Amino acid sequence: MALAVRDAVGMLKVGLELFVEAGPRAVAIGDEAGRPVFLDLKLHDIPETVERAVARASGLGVRMLTVHASGGPEMLRRAVERARKEGRGLELVAVTVLTSLDIDDLHAIGITEDVAAHAERLARVAWEQGVRAFVCSPHEAARLRSTLGPEATLITPGVRPAGEGGRDDQKRTMSAREAIEAGATWVVVGRPIRDAPDPLGVARDLAAEVDGALASRRMR
């Protein structure tokens, strides 16, 4: 699949399911396809454990690695410091609020603020510890872009081809164009490409949609 769509994508995401199945071998997909790897493990543990995991991930040569912003300041600080110490160019990405959650889910776990406010709160915590890349849904991208400024890298999952109705278990979705217009730097698309009869065709259409939105954004 990676080889089939590599000409239409800028990075390859290795997620938890594949990493559990294949381990570090999964990261070799990037070398084979000639694309950097976004290792999406969403680390959330005590600071010592996360710091050591960051070191191991850095040794694999991945471009980006996700950690949960809700892991707290100490976990985030040590993760960022370890990535810098390793000197392999690994960028830590803080996950704010999962796209599978909505305000009812937040209330169920004791969070009283709305999704956007909570995403912003978590992003600020991570920013203060040196994180400069963030995962948020497209619905929070404009707010985080306004709060964090142009230096922040915003990565938005929950992106669907324009006009597609299905959202699966993701509750806060947008089209690729809408995500870019809201301030996203990268859009993450998984199932719409993976499950399509023509994965490369869908990937190319999405890439064209992104390029068009970026061109419009630059002209403003």
Residues assigned a catalytic role: 42
Bridge partners (DSSP) listed for residue 160: 175
Query: Is 175 in contact with 202 (CB distance < 8 Å)?
Result: no
Please provide residue 152's backbone torsions phi and psi, each rounded to the nearest 5 degrees: -70, 140
> Within 10 A of 46 (CB to CB), how many other CB atoms are there?
12
SS3 64: strand
Measure the CA–CA gap between 100 and 173, rounded to whole angstroms: 10
| CA 198/CA 112 separation, integer angstroms | 43
Phi, psi of 111 (to 5 degrees): -100, 120
| Residue 14 tokens, joined | 């290795």
- β-pair partners for 64: 38, 91
What does the block give as tokens for 174? 């947008």
